[in-house]
């Protein structure tokens, strides 16, 4: 599958409260490009800035999810100065780290529909998604060490927190990939579905998220991220801050009223 030179390297589709972002460089197995990363950085800003958007889905065009930076081109090693259009409010460097979700966390729930190979930078971005669906043929890997590089877009920090330490070390130090079944076994993904069904499953889960109270969802994610792997006493203080805002909200009152009246709640996000 190919795309024309005129097609953007990121396709954005909105369906009510859900935005689907499709990495669109299929002739290079959706390898990351400066243009793609710039468009992703802009998309994250738009998603978090629009109260009408409740969830986002990230997937790939064709039969691959994302195989990371194109090593044949080498721009990620050299840097992307002069290749990526940088909005005035950001440097080229901050666009790269924002786009790759290295220095930002999306406030809205982000669901990955992994429709094929998820390698290198693609696998590093995956670790910043919240809910993950893999098609049965997908593979997950961090092959950087095989080429004298390091999986340094978050994996040395995040991966050991998301899957068992020894398996994270093996993935990073050997560069050997996991199958979809192995990724599910070790908890890197939450669902494995037949080929071609990851986006459908992601939309199904997104619809469930969108049906819930937006403030409750936003603060629940924020609390989980902010408390991280702190000790329980410090983490509890962070949790309480987010809990109090939700429990005092109009949505909480509406949810209880709807439960009592046996009707669907009408949430406003406030």
CB 72 within 8 A of CB 31: no
CA atoms within a 13 Å half-sphere pointing along the CA-CB vector of 252: 10
CB 170 within 8 A of CB 176: yes
Matching residue, tokens 């969108």 = 210
CB 119 within 8 A of CB 141: yes
Q: Is 13 a catalytic residue?
A: no
Q: Is 254 a catalytic residue?
A: no
**Of 42, 61, 135, 144, catalytic:** 144
Distance CA 259, CA 93 (A): 48
Q: Cα separations (Å) of 252 from 103, 108, 175, 208, 261?
A: 32, 19, 47, 18, 14
Distance CA 221, CA 225 (A): 6
**Of 124, 176, 239, 245, catalytic:** 124
DSSP string, 20-83: EEEE--GGGTT-B-HHHHHHHHHHHHHHHH-TT--EEEEEESTT-SB--B-TTT-HHHH--TTT
| Enzyme catalytic residues | 124, 144
């Amino acid at each position: 599958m190919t795309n024309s030179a005129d097609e953007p390297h990121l396709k954005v589709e909105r369906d009510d409260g859900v935005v689907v972002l499709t990495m669109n460089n299929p002739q290079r197995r959706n390898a990351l490009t400066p243009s793609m990363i710039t468009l992703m950085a802009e998309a994250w800003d738009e998603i978090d800035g629009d109260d009408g958007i409740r969830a986002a889905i990230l997937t790939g065009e064709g039969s691959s999810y994302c195989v990371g930076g194109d090593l044949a081109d080498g721009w990620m090693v050299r840097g992307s100065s002069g290749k990526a259009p940088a909005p005035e409010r950001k440097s080229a460097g901050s666009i790269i780290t924002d786009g790759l979700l290295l220095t930002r966390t999306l406030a809205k729930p982000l669901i990955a529909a992994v429709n094929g190979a998820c390698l290198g930078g693609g696998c590093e971005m995956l670790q910043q998604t919240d809910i993950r669906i893999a098609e049965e043929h997908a593979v997950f890997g961090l092959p950087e060490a095989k080429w004298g590089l390091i999986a340094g877009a978050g994996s040395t920090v995040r991966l050991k927190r998301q899957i068992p330490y020894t398996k994270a070390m093996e993935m990073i130090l050997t560069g050997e990939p996991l199958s979809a079944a192995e990724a599910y076994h070790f908890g890197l993904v939450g669902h494995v579905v037949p080929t071609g069904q990851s986006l459908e499953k992601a939309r199904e889960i997104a619809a469930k998220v969108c049906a819930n109270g937006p403030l409750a969802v936003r603060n629940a994610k924020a609390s989980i991220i902010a408390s991280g792997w702190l000790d329980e006493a410090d983490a509890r203080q962070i949790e309480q801050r987010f809990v109090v805002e939700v429990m005092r909200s109009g949505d909480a009152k509406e949810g209880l009223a709807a439960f009592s009246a046996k009707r669907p709640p009408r949430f406003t996000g406030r």
